[in-house]
Every structure is written in structure tokens, then in C-alpha cells.
A and B are shown apart, each in its own frame.
Chain A
């Protein structure tokens, strides 16, 4: 499995490594310069290394050149050029991925799309906006302040929105507002040969059926499966969401916006056991409380986060919850939640309603990755990302916890339990072969456990470099063959981000 290869390379060459392939022909690099101008092409080693890794621990694989197109026309020309010369192409947004999606394992040209940063076609009545890859989610929400709308998908990092579409990202708000998939209405894609494709047609934002809560009294938004009302052909938009740069460049995404909640309240509550915390989650969801965020931290994670962010958090399995609604519905939700928490032995709730306090609480949660790494300075981190049906969540979490303890690994758990998705952040010394073996075995067992429970090996991070073997187990041979046929149809020479997903 790729994790083993990653660890092997990591040991021999340190975190940075070169892939020795033939360098790009000089006339090709000249041709790149002719399209975007000399300052927007770089073959400097430092620049290439910077573009050869993301936030994961996959070994850095620098591309042979980095280009910065400023307009979609340039992306098309560059892609056509690379296609002609059969040079691999790797899209790059903010480099905040967790699965090695931008590592240029076969070299080639990295397309850094961050200079294309227009926000266009904002429609306040239709609740939609179109953004280019350089726009990050925080930049969009800052642009939208004053309109009463926001884009709720929140994976923690300030990632490029098109990058989030490419990896099918999710985050803490998914339980109520959905992941990227239902929130992307249209994509402007540059195909590997340079052709331009609008997945839902040029300039269209498919309208959707069903009401969304205007912050006031929405009760059934749990099933936020509002379908885009569109029956015209295969759903190309969904195909490209989560394609991880292997089918084309996402140069513009039309996103669905949501009304800002009128009132919000957040809280943290500690439980005597992991089982109690997870049971509480399941019950809150079954009671149809339209919880906006519900996050689980095991006692190791709670301790680490508390220490890292200087907050007083009891070292016990903890749930962090946030509720959105109108003032009346919020009070109702708070009451329901308190009852369920009490039933499961949770500590009494203190609600944070001020923006500053709520942000403080969630920032603490978002720093979980760094808090985990701080438990063992000098070690690397690897995050698992399984997702299982809610009904199986309590068993899977408890069993995973036991497995962690039996294997003697440091693996604080944190998760979007509202979606059945949780992460073990395994912190280990890559140089310690024994430990690395145990980590490897553990992640394999966890992946299989999730698949056996009817879940998926990757809920939101994507397949990238590390989970390709598990993908076969999850989809089966027919599934994988179908994926390969689609890939071959759109990218016959396997130039788009080769080595990922398939």
C-alpha cells in the first residue's frame, strides 16, 4: 500500500526527494513562457519544491516547472501545449490538501491557479456566486459580509474553493449544510487537451427545488438533499467534484450560498465514556435537532487541544456542538439538546453566543492537527478519514479506540460524528520501523472495518496517493474499471495528475 512506500522513501531520503525523470525540453519551456510571460514560469528548485507537497506527510515530489496563468484562455493554451508534448499536468490551488494530491509523482508542469481570483456573477436573489481558483473560502465569506449570505462548507484550512470542489471537501458544517457536492452548481473545466467545458452549460446555475430555512424556524433541514432541479443529461458537475485534478482543471465554480443564521450558540460537553458521547450524537440526530456542527474529541484529543489552545477542557470524551436558527427556534433546540445530553451523562452545558467566544471554540477544534503533532514533537502525522453509517458509528469508534490502545499508538480521535466521519491523527516517528509497521497495519484494519460496516475509506480528504488500494476494496473491480473507462475517455494519455486516485 502506498503508505508503506511513503514511509520507505521518507526514511531513505528525508522528507524532500527528487524523482529523476528526464527534464523538460528547453523549447517546451520557451513555449510556456510565450503563453504566460517569463515572470509567470519558474523552474527554480525552491519554487518547484514548494509546489510539490501539501499538508500531508507524503514525500515531496516537485514538478519540473511551475506556471501561473492569469486567465482561463491561458490555462487552455498551456493545457493544449502540455497535451501535445505529452507532459503531465498538476493543478495547484492552496496546497492545503491532506492526501498528497499536488505531489507531482511523475513530474510535469504544475499549474498554480491562485492568480485567477475573480468573484463574479453574485446573485443575491438566486443565492449563487461564481469564483475562480484563487478565491479561498474565507475571502469569499469576507466579500459576502453585508449581504446576509455565506458559504458554509468549512474544512478548517483556508482552502481554495475550486480546490475544495476538486477534492469533494466537507467540514464541520456538513451535517446541516452539506458537503461541496450539493453546493457546487456548475463548473468551468479545462479538459486535458485544452477544450473548455461547462458542466451544467455556460452561464447556468440550475435552480433547486425545496425551501431552505431562512434562519427562521427551519426544522427539517437535516435532509438538505435539495436536488438541483435539472434533468438534462448525465450529471457532469458531480463527476468533476471529487475528481482530484485527474479529469481536468476546475477554473471556475458556481456555488450555492446560504442565508446567515440569525442566532447561533455553541457549547462543549464532556462524557464519562466514548460510547456515551457517540450515543448522544446519534440521539440528537434522530431527534431531528437541526444541529449545525457536532464534533467529537476523544480524551487524548481534548487534552491536547486544551493544552495547545490554552483552554480549560476536561480530559474526557467531548462533544462540541453548534446550533443555528432564529431566536425562538434556537431556544427550542438548546432545550432539546440539553435533555439528550443529560440523558447520556454529559456535563452541564454552558452556551457561548457571542461571535468571539464561538470562534475561539472552533479555532481550538480546527487546530486539532497541530495540537496532535504537539503531543510528540519531531514526529509526523497521518490522518485516517473513515466514514460509516450513523447506526454503526458507536461500535466502530469504540472498537477503533480499543485497537489503538492494543497497538500502543498515539492516535487522538476527532470527528464530524454528525456525518459518521471521524479521523485518527496518528502521530509517530517515521524513523522507527516497528512503530511505522504498527501504524500501517492499524490503518489497514480501520479501513477494512469501515468498509465492513458499510462505510467508506475516505469521507472527505479524497483518495490522493495513499488510499488507492482501499478504493479497489470499496468499489470492487467493476467499480474501478468503470472509473478507469471514464478516465480514459477524458484523459486518454493519463496526463492529468497521474498517480492519483486510480
Chain B
């Protein structure tokens, strides 16, 4: 039986935007700023869709944990090729956004409901760069995990996945028993762009809205991290010219650097 896939996607500020610290110094300016799907999530989604096209997967479900605006990201996921989408809705303005722990707890509930054979996430989100959600989720589920994968092939008959991970020394080749959790790295594939006919078809695909509190069954616990302050790095100062190496050494010594 071909496995089911669950894909996590996150809506983040678009990578091309020049981010500014918001007034108040606790976060970045998000209003009116272009948001899109996290690039690593795009790669993971592309991999899931390719597996379904190859026949190794039966269904691709895209899941996101976020405010109602994340619906646009899920519609893009449906346009790229996901079959269904689920948004675990977090109320807007309810303090800090959910961190990896909270997201993993929510995804765990979705996974228990859907019973997929593979969960694919992006390795990290480009806004917080945590690189934790996948790992925490695998631990909560008790599943084998492989993070930062750069190549994947499934062997449904043997209920296993053969993959490469990029590590500091090179590549690691692993075989994991399914069900397994995988997180995608940059060189796994090159994601396709959504075309107009698919964007229109995506409007009809099912997108389920699930409030977080309802999913967990209890009110969500308060976040365990609090941002104290956020500052931009100091602006670049003008350089100084010196005539020769001796003068350079003199300047460095005078500034107490050497």
C-alpha cells in the first residue's frame, strides 16, 4: 500500500524582503510585508509531490500551524500539488508566535489522526532559524528521523526509506524504517512554480481549519521563550585610508587592537 505523506509548511517573511526591526524592539516589521512559504518547506513539498507522481505515495497532505493568513501559503501548497491541506489555527495577536515545541505538539496530534508513513518538513524556518521542529516531533512520536536530507528514495515494499544526509564531512547514507520523519535541505531538489491552471484547481481542494485549542483538547500552554529585545546590527562606519603598512600598524596600536 502506497504510503501517505504529511508535509509541514510555514508562512514566513519572503526571503527577498529587507527586514526591519519593528517599533518597540521586540520583533520585526510584519505588516504590509510580503510573506511566502519558507524556502525549505517548498523543497520538502516538491519532494512529496514528486513521490506521489512516481507512485510511491498515495496522498500528500500539507499542514501549517499559524494564524488564519497561513491559508494563502496552504493554497500555494495545493497549487504545487498537495491533495489536501490542514491549518491548525492559532489566534492572531495572542502574544508570541508558537515556537518549535508548540508546533511539534500540534503536528503530533495531526499525525496521530492521519497516520501517514512519512512526515517531511523543511529543515528550518528562515525567520527563526531554529532547526528544531522536526527533531522534537520525531521524539514525541518515537519515530526514526533523518534531518538535512539531500536525496531520498522510498522502498514501499520493504517499508523503508533510503536517503542521503549532508553532514560536515560529506554525505551520510541511511536506511530508515517507515514510518519516519525527514527534514529537507537545500540540495534535495529544485521546487516547481505553481502555474495558473493549478492555482485555479487548488481553490477547490479541501483546506481544513482546526483551532489549536480544539486539536490539543486543552488550552495551549504559554510559550516558554520570551524575546527581551531585538536590535539591528550597528550601521557601517566610513573606512579610513592609510599610506602604508607602517601607518596601518600604528593606527591599530593606537586603537588598542594590537
Chain A contact residues, CB within 8 Å of chain B = 139, 142-143, 145-150, 214-216, 259-262, 326, 355-356, 359
Known A262-B195, A356-B189, A359-B190; 11 more pairs at CB < 8 Å: A143-B14, A145-B193, A146-B36, A148-B193, A148-B196, A148-B198, A214-B196, A214-B197, A259-B195, A355-B190, A356-B190
Most chain B CB within 10 A, of A142, A148, A215, A262, is at A148
CA distance A377 to B195 in the complex (A): 43
Chain B contact residues, CB within 8 Å of chain A = 14, 16, 34, 36-37, 76, 79, 189-190, 192-199
Rounded to whole Å, the gap between the CB of A248 and the closest CB of chain B is 28
21 residue pairs of the A-B complex, CB under 8 angstroms, read: A143-B14, A143-B16, A143-B34, A145-B194, A146-B37, A146-B194, A147-B194, A147-B199, A148-B79, A148-B195, A148-B196, A148-B198, A148-B199, A215-B196, A259-B195, A260-B196, A261-B195, A262-B195, A326-B197, A355-B190, A359-B190
CA distance A497 to B37 in the complex (A): 43
Contact assessment for A146 and B195 in the assembled complex, using a CB-CB cutoff below 8 Å:
no
CA distance A359 to B189 in the complex (A): 13
9 smallest CB-CB distances across A and B, nearest first, come from A148-B196, A259-B196, A260-B195, A148-B199, A146-B76, A262-B195, A145-B193, A356-B190, A355-B190
Contact assessment for A262 and B197 in the assembled complex, using a CB-CB cutoff below 8 Å:
yes
Residue in contact with A139 in the complex, picked from B16, B189, B197, CB distance below 8 Å:
B16
Chain B residue at smallest Cβ distance from A144: B193
Contact assessment for A216 and B16 in the assembled complex, using a CB-CB cutoff below 8 Å:
no
Residues of B within 8 A of A260 (CB): 193-196
Q: Contacts A139-B16, A143-B16 hold; do A148 and B190 have CB atoms under 8 A apart?
A: no
Residues of A within 8 A of B16 (CB): 139, 142-143
CA distance A232 to B210 in the complex (A): 53
Chain B residue at smallest Cβ distance from A142: B16
CA distance A326 to B197 in the complex (A): 10
Rounded to whole Å, the gap between the CB of A180 and the closest CB of chain B is 22
Rounded to whole Å, the gap between the CB of A213 and the closest CB of chain B is 11
Residues of A within 8 A of B190 (CB): 355-356, 359
Q: Contacts A142-B16, A143-B16 hold; do A215 and B197 have CB atoms under 8 A apart?
A: yes
Contact assessment for B34 and A216 in the assembled complex, using a CB-CB cutoff below 8 Å:
no
Residues of B within 8 A of A356 (CB): 189-190
CA distance A147 to B16 in the complex (A): 16
CB < 8 Å A-B pair total: 47
Rounded to whole Å, the gap between the CB of B220 and the closest CB of chain A is 30
CA distance A444 to B178 in the complex (A): 69
Rounded to whole Å, the gap between the CB of B209 and the closest CB of chain A is 21
Contact assessment for A148 and B192 in the assembled complex, using a CB-CB cutoff below 8 Å:
no
Residues of B within 8 A of A146 (CB): 36-37, 76, 79, 193-194
Rounded to whole Å, the gap between the CB of B82 and the closest CB of chain A is 13
Residues of A within 8 A of B36 (CB): 145-146
Residue in contact with B196 in the complex, picked from A145, A149, A359, CB distance below 8 Å:
A149
Rounded to whole Å, the gap between the CB of A171 and the closest CB of chain B is 19
Contact assessment for B194 and A215 in the assembled complex, using a CB-CB cutoff below 8 Å:
no
Contact assessment for A355 and B196 in the assembled complex, using a CB-CB cutoff below 8 Å:
no
Chain A residue at smallest Cβ distance from B238: A39
CA distance A260 to B194 in the complex (A): 8
Contact assessment for B192 and A355 in the assembled complex, using a CB-CB cutoff below 8 Å:
yes
CA distance A403 to B247 in the complex (A): 59
CA distance A66 to B37 in the complex (A): 38
Residues of B within 8 A of A149 (CB): 196
Residue in contact with A150 in the complex, picked from B189, B193, B199, CB distance below 8 Å:
B193
Most chain A CB within 10 A, of B36, B37, B197, B198, is at B197
Residues of A within 8 A of B37 (CB): 146
CA distance A315 to B51 in the complex (A): 38
CA distance A431 to B199 in the complex (A): 57
Most chain B CB within 10 A, of A139, A145, A149, A262, is at A145
Chain B residue at smallest Cβ distance from A359: B190
CA distance A125 to B72 in the complex (A): 17
Chain A residue at smallest Cβ distance from B199: A148
Residue in contact with B197 in the complex, picked from A143, A150, A216, A355, CB distance below 8 Å:
A216
Residues of A within 8 A of B197 (CB): 214-216, 262, 326
Rounded to whole Å, the gap between the CB of B41 and the closest CB of chain A is 12
Chain A residue at smallest Cβ distance from B37: A146
CA distance A59 to B60 in the complex (A): 58
Residues of B within 8 A of A259 (CB): 195-196
Most chain B CB within 10 A, of A139, A147, A262, is at A147
Residues of B within 8 A of A359 (CB): 190
Chain A residue at smallest Cβ distance from B77: A146
Contact assessment for A148 and B34 in the assembled complex, using a CB-CB cutoff below 8 Å:
no
Residues of B within 8 A of A216 (CB): 197
Most chain B CB within 10 A, of A146, A149, A259, A326, is at A146
Residues of A within 8 A of B76 (CB): 146
Residues of A within 8 A of B196 (CB): 148-149, 214-215, 259-260
Residues of A within 8 A of B79 (CB): 146, 148
Rounded to whole Å, the gap between the CB of A263 and the closest CB of chain B is 9
Residues of B within 8 A of A355 (CB): 190, 192
Residues of B within 8 A of A150 (CB): 193
Contact assessment for A215 and B195 in the assembled complex, using a CB-CB cutoff below 8 Å:
yes
CA distance A143 to B13 in the complex (A): 12
CA distance A356 to B50 in the complex (A): 14
CA distance A49 to B113 in the complex (A): 64
Rounded to whole Å, the gap between the CB of A293 and the closest CB of chain B is 17
Chain B residue at smallest Cβ distance from A261: B195
Chain A residue at smallest Cβ distance from B46: A355
Most chain A CB within 10 A, of B14, B36, B189, B195, is at B195
CA distance A260 to B196 in the complex (A): 7
Chain B residue at smallest Cβ distance from A216: B197
Residues of B within 8 A of A143 (CB): 14, 16, 34
CA distance A149 to B195 in the complex (A): 7
Rounded to whole Å, the gap between the CB of B239 and the closest CB of chain A is 11
Rounded to whole Å, the gap between the CB of B187 and the closest CB of chain A is 10
Rounded to whole Å, the gap between the CB of A362 and the closest CB of chain B is 14
Rounded to whole Å, the gap between the CB of A214 and the closest CB of chain B is 6
CA distance A420 to B241 in the complex (A): 53
Rounded to whole Å, the gap between the CB of A59 and the closest CB of chain B is 27
Residues of A within 8 A of B193 (CB): 145-146, 148, 150, 260
